Structure 1
Amino acid sequence: MKKLFLVPVVAGAVFIAACGGSQTKEESAETAETATEQPAAPAANIPGLDTVAVSNELALEGNDLMKYNKTLFRVKAGQPVKLTFHNAGEMPKESMGHNVVILQPGTDLPAFGGEAIKAPDAEYIPATFASSIIAHTKLLGPGETDTIEFTLEAGVYPFLCSFPGHYGVMQGKIVAE
């Protein structure tokens, strides 16, 4: 008899739970709009940011292991930034060239990497993403160094190596505050 009583109670609880939480599509859209209107603080969520000193003179190296020696920088927004990049590797430029490309926030990195592969004559800097590129170094061979200068407004800017296959592992962020 207890089992017969329990079945309708459980069924009723499931029915009541299923009826709750009714939210119209309009309410959902309003919530989504409100969420996108509020500026986020993306830099606040970057692990290790508080351990990085603010400097507008940046030194970066790339190597034959397809790694940058640093992946996070902090700079003062609105002031010139000088980035010196050195290819510390020993492999030939044709098989292990490196560069640094600073991109606009929100750039689709996999799409950028896919287009970069198609641009060997432009040192893997895709013209189709010209509006997303803030600055870039030359494609460097072993022992070579290049320096670039640029200015960033407040935000979080991705940087990467555009040599084929490198963008997935050779990337980092510059936080302008």
Structure 2
Amino acid sequence: MTRYWKPLALALALSATAPAWAADCAVEIEGNDAMQFNKQAISVPASCKQFTVKLKHVGKLPKAAMGHNWVLTKTADMQGAVTDGIAAGAAKDYVKAGDARVLAHTKLIGGGETDSVSFATSALKAGESYSYFCSFPGHAGIMKGTLTLAK
């Protein structure tokens, strides 16, 4: 009877770690009413084919007053994407339609809301500098961070 326990224990141990593997290809980031993300850096494992970012607005203010989104660009493209996003307006989530500089973005959300975006990591290159930010007018100056593709 004990010879069955070892394979069973191994199977249970492996299945218990499976969600941790999946979690490596996703991250949750929070934005608040003080225009802050709770993470200043995100590292994407090179083993991930897709990566998911879940944005959670932990504040209470509505999106018209303190909306947040999560936008990813190459660092060199950030300012242009911010400027064009502001011109696009709230109806477009402050992201210019069809902007090739924008690698991924969530929709604009208000207090208590969440949104997620998944993107193919094949668009990322090791050693390239990427920035994420909130493109709501006036937020990108302080509400930003760096994203890297881990080796």
Give your verdict on TM over 0.5. Answer: yes
Query: Is 1:163 the equivalent of 2:132?
Result: no
Partner residue of 1:88 out of 54, 58, 64: 58
Instruction: Give the structure 2 partner of residue 133 of structure 1.
Output: 102
Higher relative contact order (CA 8 A, sep 6+): 2
**AA aligned opposite 2:147:** I
**AA aligned opposite 2:57:** N
Instruction: Give the structure 2 partner of residue 174 of structure 1.
Output: 147
Report the structure number with the largest CA radius of gyration: 1
Partner residue of 1:114 out of 74, 79, 83: 83
**TM-score, length of structure 2 as denominator length:** 0.74
Q: Deviations over 1:49-92 (max 9, x none)?
A: xxxxx932111000000000001011123621111110111111
**1:105, CA displacement in angstroms?**
4.3
Q: Which runs of 5+ in 2 are unaligned?
A: 1-22
Q: Deviations over 1:118-154 (max 9, x none)?
A: 1112111023x71101110010011001111112332
Q: Residues 1-177 of structure 1: matches in 2 within 5 Å?
A: 55-77=24-46, 79-107=49-77, 109-120=78-89, 121-127=91-97, 130-152=99-121, 153=124, 154=126, 155-177=128-150
**AA aligned opposite 1:56:** C
**1:111, CA displacement in angstroms?**
2.8
Q: Matched residues in 1 for 2:80 and 2:72: separation?
A: 15
**AA aligned opposite 1:171:** K
CA contact (8 A) 1:66 1:166 kept: yes
Q: Matched residues in 1 for 2:117 and 2:81: separation?
A: 20
**TM-score, length of structure 1 as denominator length:** 0.64
Q: What is the SS of the residue equivalent to 2:99?
A: helix
Q: Matched residues in 1 for 2:62 and 2:110: separation?
A: 6
Q: Matched residues in 1 for 2:141 and 2:105: separation?
A: 17
What is the percentage of aligned positions where both structures have the same residue? Answer: 35
Distance change in 2, residues 1:55/1:174 (3 Å): farther
Coordinate RMSD, CA, aligned: 1.8
